[in-house]
Amino acid sequence: MTNIFSKLYNNKKEELFFERDMSPDKSRKLKTNIGENLRIVNEYLSDCDDVITRNFYMGQGGKHQMSLIFIDGMVKLDTVQNDVLKPLMLFTRQFPLEYSVGEKFFNMVKEGLLTAGDIKEVDNFGELILGILSGDTILLMDKLDKALIISTRGWEKRGVQEPSTEAVIRGPRDGFTETYRTNVALVRRRLKDPNLKVKTIKLGRHTRTDVGIMYIKGVAKPSIVDEVLKRLNTVDISTVLESGYIEQMIEGDWLSPFPQLRRTERPDVVAASLIEGNVAILCDNTPFALIAPTTFLSLFQSPEDYYERWYIVSMIRILRFIAGFFAFTFPALYIAMTTFHPGMLPTDLVLSIAAAREGVPFSAVVESLIMVIALEVLREAGVRLPGPIGQTIGIVGGLVVGEAAVRAGIVSPIMVIVVAVNAISSFAIPNYSVAIGFRLLTFILMALAGVAGLYGIMLGLLGLTIHLVTLKSFGAHYLSPFVSFRFSESKDTLIRGPLPSLEIRPGYTRPQDFDRINDRRHDTIDKAGDESADQQ
Amino acid sequence: MLTNNDLITVPQAVALIIMTVLEVGLLSLPREVATYAESDGWILVIIAWLLAFICSLVLSTLIRRFPGETFIEYSQKVIGKFLSFAIGVVLIIYFTLATAIIIRTFAEVTNAFMLPNTPREFIIIAQMLLTIYLIRHGIEPTARIAEILFPLLIVPIFAMYMIALPKADFTELLPVFNTPIKSMAVGSLYTMLNFFGLEILLILGPYLKRPDKIYWTMFVSVGVIALIFLFIVIITFSVLGVQPAKQFIWPGMTIIRMITAPGRVFERLDALAMALWTIASFTASNSMYLAGALTCFHLTKAREFKFFITILFPWVYFLASLPPNFVATEELRHIVRLGSVSVGIAVPIIVLLLSIIMKKKGETA
């Protein structure tokens, strides 16, 4: 018996050891013998049928072996054939004899022969294998202890499409895609600034996902950049499939219901926040970028806020905050008002509420709970179902919740209104993560209101305020600029002042370069006006 | 000794002082001044303002004289170890008692106006837990909360009183200077007690980011408080009348019960006013509790002050549930206020005078 156990145990240990040994290591250098090198590569990539190895011979007489290794489907075959294989196979034959093999030949191939764009030299298996897995093509040569990584990445990918979660009426229609480089390029196209820096690291032991941080040197505060890098480097995780993994690993307070990084699908949002001194974290395989540090206010902003004129935007922003408030307090207020403080409401309204609630067997708390939970279930069902069925759910849900429940006397019509206002309000919050956080708070506040009425709500709100006031996102106050208030920053908070008046960048990132807009309109416009008047 | 991050900025200090002092006078001040000086009540507020200003000058001078030092530290130099320890103990009792009274009064008012059936203990404990949750975060967050809640409290209060304005009859203020000098003097001294809460500066002094601006800080906060008091007294007198203002326990609350929100959104605003009162009482008890815990911390020279926050919990709860009924609460409140004279005025003046006589100063001053 013990024998079996020890066997099992040993087996497991061996397996683990084996696995660890198999992960390619940078310290394992390439050999001079190509056969040996190919054997090691095959060892690493055994049972990977998508890896293609193409052997051919070069030089006059074709004596020396060369090998191309790449993964089918992750490379652009065009590039491999026209820019790599073709020159190698056709032109090496015409080399003079002294070039037949060795350092000189290697440099000739590297610098004079291959017409592919990006070529890197590599001397170890770690980078080599990673190159293959990332979609590059590897060129191994006989008698050389180094290889070339030729960038031939190209796979089937989704094109740049309109972001579905952050639609705008006015503003650019392009959104991030699942490809890291495309996303970086989308941002770069908006900021043609040499100070826009991109640092890429690889995260995830298995996924080896490209994760890049972008910032503008001279605008972003170096300590924030360092903090982001530091936190990213502490991430030790096996898989990074979406930027959500990174978000959860690097956020400061994971007990908080509020997101401490802003996520966005829009390159213009990333560009705008980079200019305000934020750091953006882009992640391969996901269209969602993260922005740090973030503030409570920024989660209530939409990119359109800066594209439209300021009156409209200011009104919409105020509406959003009212909606935000109702999104988590409305059912609680209903409970408090009807159960504890009916005297507060106008008499007619109290009477009509009482009349409507006459047949309802449950207390206001239970009634609200039933309705809010029903609504959450409907929402969840609607999200998951495919389009055509989703509509059915909408109709069924609307009928069941709205009409039948009232007719059956389970809930009162007023309750339906309350829940509807609550739901619609939460959809008016531009950021989905915050909206979800608010829905969670709805339940807590409902419980508090059920216990102690308006006082319970106040307890909840004060507790929430304490939490928000002490919350920090990468060193920036979450509630800034209301914490350590400065008047100059108040123009872009609850309302948005006219664009020319937003002369400085927000202070929460403590950007090094405060200037945002210099209002020079008066110089130019006045002059131009005078001149044209003179001419007439 | 102190961590540098945990410092209070000037606006935060102003907000903290105002919120601490405001809580007390907000509801009952009109009754008190009406009792002492009838329609001259508003003059009492102005005289009390001057007195409170002098008192704040003393506190400020002490803080300037010993920058970065705690009260316990410099009072040891001036009046000796034993006396300073005794004063420290008195301070702790005073601050905890003040916290208890604020919370207890809040519970009483809530029971009277908002939640008649909710047990008082529930309200007291809930309020205390909230306070502890906040001040465990440190000194600066406590001040930050005051800064954030300040406009949320002041603006609605102004709005509510403004709604009552059409009912105002300013002739109620009319017989001016009708009060004998003696009751005027006694009255203004009592009115000054409404400024109690300023003495938290005695403890929070070393935690100010800009101790050089302490005079300005004090001047602004005392001024704003006095203006708000003046506003409330004048509106209450002119809306309610002087005689009714004497009779109601909380004339401020009576006014709010009288008015209806425009457009009849809310028929009665008292529940809303109670919500605001929650904010006021919460911030006031925060700073008192914090001052109490900090005094313990300074007295014992412990490594961390957060420990004392938890230690004080049962003690404060015991004090808060000590008075058997509302009348006893009001009596205890009166005693605490009288205590504030000794703690907030007498002790600082004595320490300041002695330090001037003995020519003792802080190291960096």
Pairwise CA distance, residues A449 & A336, whole Å:
5
Contact B280, B22 (CB under 8 A): yes
Residue B252 pLDDT > 70, yes or no? yes
Instruction: Give the minimum alpha-carbon distance from A349 to chain B in angstroms, rounded to a whole number.
Output: 10
Pairwise CA distance, residues B141 & B147, whole Å:
10
**Which residues between 135 and 154 in chain B have a beta carbon less than 8 angstroms from any beta carbon of chain A?**
137, 141, 144-145, 147-149
Q: What is the CA radius of gyration of chain B?
A: 20
Edge-first strand listing for the sheet containing A209-216: A196-203, A209-216, A279-283, A289-292, A262-264
Q: ipTM strictly over 0.95?
A: no
Which of the four pLDDT bands, split at 50, 70 and 90, describes residue A356? confident
Report DSSP letters for A272-323, one per residue.
HHHHTT-EEEEETT-S-EEEES--TGGGG--THHHHS-HHHHHHHHHHHHHH
Q: With CB atoms and an 8 Å threshold, state whether A343 touches B268.
A: yes
Q: What pLDDT score was predicted for residue A16? A: 40
Cβ neighbours of B145 in A, within 8 Å: 465-466, 469
Which tokens hold the place of A393?
């759910």
Cα angle B160-B44-B350, degrees, rounded to a multiple of 5: 115
A-to-B residue pairs, Cβ atoms closer than 8 angstroms: 85
Residue A4 pLDDT > 60, yes or no? no
Across A57-74, average pLDDT: 80
Residues A45-63 have pLDDT tens digits of 888 888 989 888 876 666 7
Residue A291 pLDDT > 50, yes or no? yes
Q: What pLDDT score was predicted for residue B45? A: 87
A322 CB within 8 Å of a chain B CB: no
Cβ neighbours of A479 in B, within 8 Å: 148
Which of the four pLDDT bands, split at 50, 70 and 90, describes residue A521? low
Q: What pLDDT score was predicted for residue A288? A: 93
Selected residue of B6, B120, B148, B269 to mutate for chain A interface (largest A Cβ count, 10 A): B148
**Among B122, B133, B131, CA closest to B23:** B131
Instruction: Give the minimum alpha-carbon distance from A216 to chain B in angstroms, rounded to a whole number.
Output: 28
Nearest beta carbon to residue B268 from set A344, A454, A465: A344
**Residue found by looking up tokens 């489907």 in the block:** A73
Residues A192-243 have pLDDT tens digits of 989 999 999 988 888 888 899 999 988 888 888 999 999 998 888 888 899 9
Which of the four pLDDT bands, split at 50, 70 and 90, describes residue A12? very low
Nearest beta carbon to residue A454 from set B265, B271, B279: B271
Q: What pLDDT score was predicted for residue A17? A: 39
Q: What pLDDT score was predicted for residue A21? A: 41
Residues A387-397 have pLDDT tens digits of 777 777 777 77
Residue A101 pLDDT > 80, yes or no? no
Q: What pLDDT score was predicted for residue A507? A: 65
Q: Indicate the SS3 state at residue A515.
A: strand
Which of the four pLDDT bands, split at 50, 70 and 90, describes residue A2? very low
B124 CB within 8 Å of a chain A CB: no
Residue of A nearest to B269 (CA): A344
Instruction: Give the minimum alpha-carbon distance from A450 to chain B in angstroms, rounded to a whole number.
Output: 12
The least confident of A183-187, B143-147, B175-179 is B175-179
Residues B26-68 have pLDDT tens digits of 777 888 888 887 778 888 888 888 988 888 888 888 888 888 8
* Residue B25 CB partners (closer than 8 Å, separation 6+): B194, B195, B225, B229, B232
Highest mean pLDDT range out of A209-213, A430-434, A486-490, B208-212? Answer: A209-213
Cβ neighbours of A464 in B, within 8 Å: none
**Among B61, B27, B349, B52, CA closest to B220:** B52
Report DSSP letters for B21-73, one per residue.
HHHHHHHHHHHHHHHHHGGGHHHHHHHHHHHHHHHHHHHHHHHHHSTT--HHH
Q: What pLDDT score was predicted for residue A277? A: 86
Q: With CB atoms and an 8 Å threshold, state whether A346 touches B123.
A: no
Which of the four pLDDT bands, split at 50, 70 and 90, describes residue B2? very low
**Among A325, A262, A234, CA closest to A476:** A262
Q: How many CB atoms lie within 10 A of CB A156?
A: 6
**Which residues between 317 and 356 in chain B have a beta carbon less than 8 angstroms from any beta carbon of chain A?**
none
Residue B264 pLDDT > 80, yes or no? no
Percent of chain B with pLDDT over 70: 97
Residues B67-126 have pLDDT tens digits of 888 888 888 888 888 888 898 999 999 999 999 999 998 898 888 888 888 888 999 999
Distances (CA, A) of B357 to B66, B84, B87, B247: 15, 18, 20, 48
A470 CB within 8 Å of a chain B CB: yes
A198 CB within 8 Å of a chain B CB: no
Superfamily of domain B4-357: Amino acid/polyamine transporter I (1.20.1740.10)
**Which residues between 246 and 285 in chain B have a beta carbon less than 8 angstroms from any beta carbon of chain A?**
264-272, 274-275, 278-279, 282
Strand partners, A200: A212
Q: What pLDDT score was predicted for residue A13? A: 43
Q: What pLDDT score was predicted for residue A511? A: 60
Residue of B nearest to A472 (CA): B141
Q: What pLDDT score was predicted for residue B64? A: 86
Pairwise CA distance, residues B317 & B207, whole Å:
27
Cβ neighbours of B149 in A, within 8 Å: 465
Q: What pLDDT score was predicted for residue A530? A: 47
A452 CB within 8 Å of a chain B CB: yes
Selected residue of B145, B277, B281 to mutate for chain A interface (largest A Cβ count, 10 A): B145
Residue of B nearest to A449 (CA): B115
Q: What pLDDT score was predicted for residue A20? A: 42
Q: What pLDDT score was predicted for residue A264? A: 92
A490 CB within 8 Å of a chain B CB: no
Q: What pLDDT score was predicted for residue A463? A: 93
Which of the four pLDDT bands, split at 50, 70 and 90, describes residue A516? low
Q: With CB atoms and an 8 Å threshold, state whether B133 touches A347.
A: no
Residue of B nearest to A481 (CA): B148
Residues A297-315 have pLDDT tens digits of 888 888 888 888 889 899 9
Q: With CB atoms and an 8 Å threshold, state whether A457 touches B275.
A: yes
Which of the four pLDDT bands, split at 50, 70 and 90, describes residue A533? very low
Instruction: Give the minimum alpha-carbon distance from A429 to chain B in angstroms, rounded to a whole number.
Output: 22
Q: With CB atoms and an 8 Å threshold, state whether A465 touches B145.
A: yes
Q: What is the mean pLDDT of chain A?
A: 82
Pairwise CA distance, residues A18 & B332, whole Å:
77
Residues B273-320 have pLDDT tens digits of 888 888 999 999 999 999 999 999 888 888 888 888 888 999 999 999
Q: What pLDDT score was predicted for residue B270? A: 77
Q: How do the domains of chain B map onto residue ranges? A: 4-357
Q: What is the mean pLDDT of chain B?
A: 85
Q: With CB atoms and an 8 Å threshold, state whether B115 touches A452.
A: yes
Cβ neighbours of A470 in B, within 8 Å: 137, 141, 144
Residue of A nearest to B256 (CA): A344
Contact A449, A336 (CB under 8 A): yes
Which residue type, as a one-letter code, is found at position A251? E
Q: What pLDDT score was predicted for residue A23? A: 58
**Which residues between 337 and 396 in chain A have a beta carbon less than 8 angstroms from any beta carbon of chain B?**
340-341, 343-347
Residue A525 pLDDT > 50, yes or no? no
Cβ neighbours of A483 in B, within 8 Å: 144, 147-148
Whole-model pTM over 0.80: yes
Cβ neighbours of A458 in B, within 8 Å: 275, 278-279
Q: How many CB atoms lie within 10 A of CB A310?
A: 20
Residues A380-416 have pLDDT tens digits of 887 777 777 777 777 777 777 778 888 888 888 888 8
B110 CB within 8 Å of a chain A CB: yes
